[in-house]
Amino acid sequence: MARFFVNRPVFAWVLALVIIMAGALALRELPVSQYPEVAPPALAISVTYPGASAQVVENTVVSLIEQEMNGIEGLLYMDSSSEQSTGTINLTFQTGTDIEVASVEAQNRIKRVEARLPDEVKRLGVNVTKTRRNYLMFIMLYSPDGSRSSVDLASYAASNVLDEIRRVPGVGEAQMFGSEYSIRLWVDPDKLASYKLSPSEVIAAVRAQNVLLAVGEVNQPPAPAGMEYAASVITRGRLSTPKEFGDVVVRAQSDGSLVRVRDVARVELGAQDYSVFARIDGKSAAGVGIKVAPGANAMATAKAVRARMEDLGRFLPQGMTWEVPYDTTPFIDVSIQEVIKTLIEAVVLVFIVMYLFLENWRATLIPTIVVPISLVGAALGLYVLGYSINVLTLFAMVLAIGIVVDDAIVVVENVERIMEEEHLPPREATAKAMDQIVGAIIGITVVLSAVFVPMAFFSGSVGAIYRQFAVTLVLTMLFSALMALTLTPALCATLLKHDPTGHALPSTGFFGWFNRTFLAATQRYVGAVRKLLGKPGRWLVVYGAIVAAAVLMFAKLPGSFLPEEDQGYFITMVQLPPGATQERTVAVMEEAEKFFLSQPEVEHAIGIVGFSFFGRGQNAGLLFVRLKDWDLRPDEKNSVKAVVQRANGALFMLKQAFIFSINPPPIPELAAVGGFDFRLQDRGGLGREKLAQAQALALQAAAQNPALAGVRMDGMPAGPQLLLEIDREKAQTLGVDIATLNDTLQTLFGTAYINDFERNGRVLRVQMQADPSVRTSPEAMLRVQVRNRTGGMVSLAEVVKPLWMVGAPKLDRYNGVPAVKLTGNPAPGHSTGQAMAAMGAVAAQLPAGVGYSWSGTSFEESLSGAQAPMLFAISLIVVFLCLAALYESWSIPFSVLLVVPLGVFGALLAVLLRGLPNDVYFKVGLVATIGLSSKNAILIIEFARSLQDQGMALKEAIIEACRLRLRPILMTSIAFIVGVLPLAISTGAGAQSRHAIGTGVMGGMIAATVLAIFLVPVFYLTVSRLFPARGRDGGKAADGLPALEVEARHD
């Protein structure tokens, strides 16, 4: 194969150009995102039950649906929350589950239980959506001159913006923060009583007169003969204005007078819901939160949304404008640009090192051409396999540079050696060199690929991260091997020049000094190796101490999932005391907004009143604080971490509310807020009260644990509730029908959905509720009268007794049992892994019947820790088996694998010195270290075996192999180390992730090089003495790897 391309270099160039063009086309089509789809697929089932308390929603809706969801195929875990008027069940499935099939099955199961749900819930529908946690961006409509109310803005957004955005390719969900118009009937109970009317009669009258009828047509077939025309018959349809609804006749009196809706209610065009609304920089606004569709290109989606808004913005009415104050794609863009910059820096540094060692610009140019082709080929493979361009695949390409350059070096060095020693012209020298090293190239590729392949078979979100690295690295190495067998020999035959004098290396100038210095260092190195081989037992003890130190460091190294990043924004949670009104929440939000907008790093503050990740309620609020560009805040004091600390210190002084700011997690799809996600569960049927006591004990113990900080309840604390205790016996005595009484309470104090009306092409709701003045106190509520069976009116005070009590406004469940959420962060100097272990210890001290589980990012982190030992073990086993098959020996793999702990030692030491944790990136770096450190050992051991096969004594063969292998080992190792150096020292957006992967790999490779060149000879000597039988055919080299192949590799 190689000879074919040596003789036909144009064919090799055509193959390379085809790969370049196909890869370029693939790069245009590959989706771009910060992270791949690592979060497990999930569904959200949402219900609305107007006026119902959290307990009612849980008992009548949520628990019923949960029971039906148990056993759905691929379900990983299920959590739910019940709040005032709303309920949500989140189903999280195993990675790889077909979410479309799961959605259909979930809806079928809901149909089975739908008949048991309350009528109001069935009327409004049960929604099943494919959920994502993270918002891609927010579009805000606001009125600079204050001429438009929040309801005006939200109604315009709902009718003219929301559907347009939902149609943009890549948009998975567009959520409205604000409320569109609704016809509101504010009923006066005293006037109802004066006319002896019940709320149900008003509802029935509106439903009867606000209706669309299908009344056919004149002369509709069959018609009498001779009819000459036909016409549709229509009636007055739905009402559309407050006046028309006010004119609806409720009852005709005996004296001929009419009682209309306006006689008993105030009718207005108001908001459908007053509980949630948005703000921008302290001004009223309407917000549209956008989530990207699964598998969509986040960058392209954000660009398309902005383009659509530019078009829609031309038609905005006067006094209204739009802005995108929150957008996560700049961080994605900057992160990817920084990794690409690191990639370019790595390429430049690698080729500087190569030129330093090769000392020939023609020889250096060959890998310069070949390596980028391998990277473009990998992009083509990613496109074919359905992957994306993200920080993980780009990290893998940075790691791959130092690996794939070795294939080109193998070919170039061997060709130059033959040209120097045998004085052959380039074409003949290349042909002979390729005959010798084809097997070696294939062997190196197989061994290195074997290290990473097991990573592709792990499950869960961690497996998805491993898979990105494994697939990218293997693809890059395969294309590198292809280029080494095709284009590289063609370039050697055409670019390299034969020196007839036979002096390949310069003896003067800088390179002359470098060669003389390196030769002297080599001689000293050979002398040191000779001494080590004289007393191998002593150095094996040193090796044992290194292994022990590595084990201790690994045990000491704190665990983590992924490093936190400065993503250019942070989240602030606002929570007032239970029972606080919306007016008080707005006042606190204004104070928080004022503080944030006074900070020089802050660009925008987007507020949402009545909603937070902890729950809904009048006392809840949420702020997304967008920071200025990273270039405008380069110092550490301007980082998101510094701003968050400053905000928490300042806002802690606001005693009216509990306010805290948090940096969002590295993968928001796995968790809404950072830190750990801990669930206490009532597994013993103890009841909510006992569970709340266990929660208090857990919080108390967590506050005293030094590994934990900021542990808090993730939810709404218990607040005041007014229980209306119905005296059923007295109601029957007074002739009050219980059904009528229940209907009156639900209609007046809840929100009654009557039917719909049309406005500007939108179908909106007609709703009825008691006037706000009636709902100000228990005394005012009890003045409401209800009609009895004889037509008389009975005051609620006669049959209802109000009782104040304390209850939870939000009730959580996890995997079908009552639960409470606790979140928190590791204390300074501790990792999330240590914090999780501390919480496990806290839970172990709680009463019997109270269990715990992890969710979100914490669930994936626990899975990551459980999979890591298996990952390392499988990688080692696969490398061992490949080496055994490749060299037809069971002993040689032991000599090679003994070097792995040296690389692990260096990686652990590097991250410990830098204060980094044992996260997913570090684990990937350890796997890479296994392969790279093994490769260095192979270079020495293979050559020593070759010399033994030629008749040299064992010790002398090892010493000679070390002398001849030192230069290529140092060249390839230094090339790899400087290739990952930009990762380890990078700055800017996403730097923490680059540090996490670069530091460990760099430290591991330094140790695997510096220590291995001294200890590998000791390993081989010891193993050879313990297992003298080598190879097959009486000790000759294994078939497929003759001595000449090995000897040719890097000379």
Model confidence pLDDT, tens digit, residues 5-54: 777 888 888 988 999 999 889 888 887 777 777 778 888 899 988 878 88
Superfamily of domain 568-663: Multidrug efflux transporter AcrB pore domain (3.30.70.1430)
Q: Which amino acid is at 132?
A: R
Cα 461 to Cα 860: distance, rounded to the nearest angstrom: 6
Question: How high is the pLDDT of residue 1031?
Answer: 43
Helix boundaries (H) for 558-686: 582-597, 640-651
Q: Is the pLDDT of residue 222 over 70?
A: yes
Q: CA 1019 from chain center: how many Å?
A: 44
Per-residue pLDDT tens over the stretch 683-715 = 888 888 888 889 989 999 998 888 888 788 877
Bridge partners of 229, per DSSP, are none
Residue appearing with tokens 């030769």:
519
**Cα 436–966–881 angle (5° rounding)?**
60
Residue 64: pLDDT band (50, 70, 90) is very high
**Cα 417–929–921 angle (5° rounding)?**
135
Q: Is the pLDDT of residue 227 over 90?
A: no
Average pLDDT over residues 707-732: 84
Among 132-136, 508-512, 614-618, the range scoring the smallest mean pLDDT is 508-512
Question: How high is the pLDDT of residue 1032?
Answer: 36
Contact (Cβ atoms closer than 8 angstroms) between residue 326 and residue 624: yes
Per-residue pLDDT tens over the stretch 515-554 = 788 788 888 888 888 888 888 888 888 889 999 998 888 8
Average pLDDT over residues 733-752: 85
**Residue closest to 819 by CA, chosen among 846, 853, 844:** 853
Bridge partners of 619, per DSSP, are none
Of 254 and 772, which is predicted with more confidence? 772
One fold for both 40-131 and 568-663? yes
Per-residue pLDDT tens over the stretch 264-301 = 999 999 998 888 888 888 888 888 989 887 767 788 88
Q: Is the pLDDT of residue 1042 over 50?
A: no
Q: Is the pLDDT of residue 677 over 70?
A: yes
**Residue closest to 308 by CA, chosen among 290, 328, 332:** 290
Of 665 and 1040, which is predicted with more confidence? 665
Classify 1050 as helix, strand or coil: coil
Cα 144 to Cα 282: distance, rounded to the nearest angstrom: 11
Q: How do the domains of the chain map onto residue ranges?
A: 1-33+337-499, 40-131, 511-556+888-1051, 568-663
Max Cα-Cα span within the chain: 128
Per-residue pLDDT tens over the stretch 162-197 = 989 999 998 888 888 888 899 999 999 889 888 888
Per-residue pLDDT tens over the stretch 547-557 = 999 888 888 88
* DSSP3 helix / strand / coil % (the chain, rounded to 5): 55, 20, 25
Per-residue pLDDT tens over the stretch 80-114 = 999 888 899 999 888 778 888 999 999 999 999 98
Tokens representing residue 1001 in the block: 């790999």
Contact (Cβ atoms closer than 8 angstroms) between residue 697 and residue 686: no
Contact (Cβ atoms closer than 8 angstroms) between residue 483 and residue 407: yes
Q: Where are the beta strands (DSSP E) in 629-779?
A: 658-662, 676-682, 708-713, 719-726, 752-759, 762-770
Per-residue pLDDT tens over the stretch 117-145 = 988 888 888 988 877 777 888 899 989 88
Average pLDDT over residues 219-247: 86
Among 626-635, 671-680, 820-829, the range scoring the smallest mean pLDDT is 671-680
Tokens representing residue 847 in the block: 């009463």
Bridge partners of 79, per DSSP, are 90, 814
The hierarchical CATH code for the domain 1-33+337-499 is: 1.20.1640.10
At residue 308, what are phi and psi to the nearest 5 degrees?
Answer: -65, -40
The hierarchical CATH code for the domain 40-131 is: 3.30.70.1430
Among 436-445, 620-629, 813-822, the range scoring the smallest mean pLDDT is 436-445
Residue 448: pLDDT band (50, 70, 90) is confident
Per-residue pLDDT tens over the stretch 850-879 = 999 888 777 877 766 666 677 677 777 887
Q: Which fold has domain 511-556+888-1051?
A: Multidrug efflux transporter AcrB transmembrane fold (1.20.1640)
Residue 456: pLDDT band (50, 70, 90) is confident
Q: Is the pLDDT of residue 1038 over 50?
A: no
What is the dihedral sign for C-alpha 992, 998, 1004, 1009? negative
Question: How high is the pLDDT of residue 245?
Answer: 94
Classify 864 as helix, strand or coil: helix
Residue appearing with tokens 């957006």:
989
At residue 640, what are phi and psi to the nearest 5 degrees?
Answer: -65, -35
Contact (Cβ atoms closer than 8 angstroms) between residue 129 and residue 46: yes
Q: Is the pLDDT of residue 774 over 90?
A: no
Work out whether strand 762-770 and strand 181-187 pair parallel, antiparallel, or are unpaired.
Answer: parallel
Contact (Cβ atoms closer than 8 angstroms) between residue 189 and residue 202: no
Tokens representing residue 110 in the block: 């809901």
